[in-house]
Structure 1
Amino acid sequence: MTEYRPRLFTSDDAIVRIGEGLLARTLPREDWTHEAHLAASTYLVARRTDIDLDSELPGIIRRYNESVGGVNDDTQGYHETITRTFLHGVRLFLAEADPDEPLHELVNELLLSPMGRRDWPLRFYSGERLFSVEARRHFVKPDLSVLP
């Protein structure tokens, strides 16, 4: 098993570029990585309180995916349960974080925490449930453990 080594950020500007690039649909597709997903979510939760993420984030991500040639269907693109689970993790992380810390340092700490790992949702969901069409289309409750 290889050690988890996320790509870390060196500036707040890099985080803002990803968050605003997602919103404006100008972020290059190759920049939409796992780390970018969490950076954008952290930016949106912490700095874009004008956006109701619970209702608007699915559309934001779907529109972005389509703008870069992606498809949102039963096997690819937007995944409701994974998005909601990571958004929950970002909110939990930020609730305990120092709000005066630079944004990129917060994102890096998140990425290095258990909540930042790609497999974090699998602590709560079986692979069968998490990767089901139902979970992609709608939020489904965990089947292994309750979300913290």
Structure 2
Amino acid sequence: MTFTSDTEIERIARGLVDRTLPKAEWTHAGHFAAALWLVRADFEAAQRDMPGMIRAYNESVGGINSDTEGYHETITQASLRAARLSLTKAAADTPLHFVLKDLMAGEFGKPDWLLTYWSKPVLFSVAARREWVAPDLQPLPF
């Protein structure tokens, strides 16, 4: 999905928050759209609140949050940090859809970007799903 306005990004984020976002729109780009919108407002609040938002959203679309599927703490927290880095690289008044376009065109736009920093066994472990687990291959660039 390509975003052409900040209104579209806000719609994705608000759809996550109020659990009205169609499941088909909760894509890799959709995750980052919501993350950018929330992080721009308040990074600490995004770190604190996004886990609950994602868990509730998953359940609202018929998903479950377990040790093998649904919400994943390490992926969420790493993605929030990647969103914050993308925002810090852009001028403060850069429209979010431009920040998202740059983010998706770079390293973080690749769905498997996390495997540069975590091995599959560590990233997909129960521990990493439940809580933050630091990268085991190399440090994050932020």
TM over 0.5: yes
Determine the structure 1 residue equivalent to 2:95: 102
1:140 partner SS: coil
Tell me: CA distance 1:36–1:25, structure 2 relative to 1, closer, same or farther (3 Å): same
2:48 partner SS: helix
1:133 aligned to which of 126, 136, 139: 126
Tell me: CA distance 1:28–1:51, structure 2 relative to 1, closer, same or farther (3 Å): farther
CA displacement, residues 6-57 of structure 1 (integer Å, 9 cap, x when unaligned): x3211111101000110011101111111100010001111x3397122211
2:38 aligned to which of 35, 40, 44: 44
> Unpaired segments of 5 or more residues in structure 2?
none
Determine the structure 2 residue equivalent to 1:72: 65
1:56 aligned to which of 41, 46, 49: 49
Kindly report structure 1 stretches of 4+ aligned residues shifted beyond 6 Å: none
Does the aligned pair in 1 maintain the 2:74–2:123 contact within 8 Å? yes
Determine the structure 1 residue equivalent to 2:117: 124
- 1:97 offset after TM fit, Å? 0.8
- 1:121 offset after TM fit, Å? 1.0
Determine the structure 2 residue equivalent to 1:82: 75
Does the aligned pair in 1 maintain the 2:43–2:84 contact within 8 Å? no
Aligned residues: 141
Does the aligned pair in 2 maintain the 1:9–1:104 contact within 8 Å? yes
Does the aligned pair in 2 maintain the 1:81–1:136 contact within 8 Å? yes
Query: Which 10-residue stretch deviates more, 135-144 or 95-104?
Result: 95-104
Determine what percentage of the aligned residue pairs are the same residue: 50
1:114 aligned to which of 100, 107, 110: 107
CA distance in 2, matches of 1:61, 1:51: 16
TM-score (norm 1): 0.90
Q: Over aligned residues, Cα RMSD in angstroms?
A: 1.4
CA displacement, residues 43-102 of structure 1 (integer Å, 9 cap, x when unaligned): 1111x3397122211111101111111100011110011111111111111111122222
- 1:115 offset after TM fit, Å? 2.0
CA distance in 2, matches of 1:53, 1:39: 13
Does the aligned pair in 2 maintain the 1:44–1:51 contact within 8 Å? no
TM-score (norm 2): 0.93
Determine the structure 1 residue equivalent to 2:15: 21
CA distance in 2, matches of 1:103, 1:55: 21
1:92 aligned to which of 82, 85, 89: 85
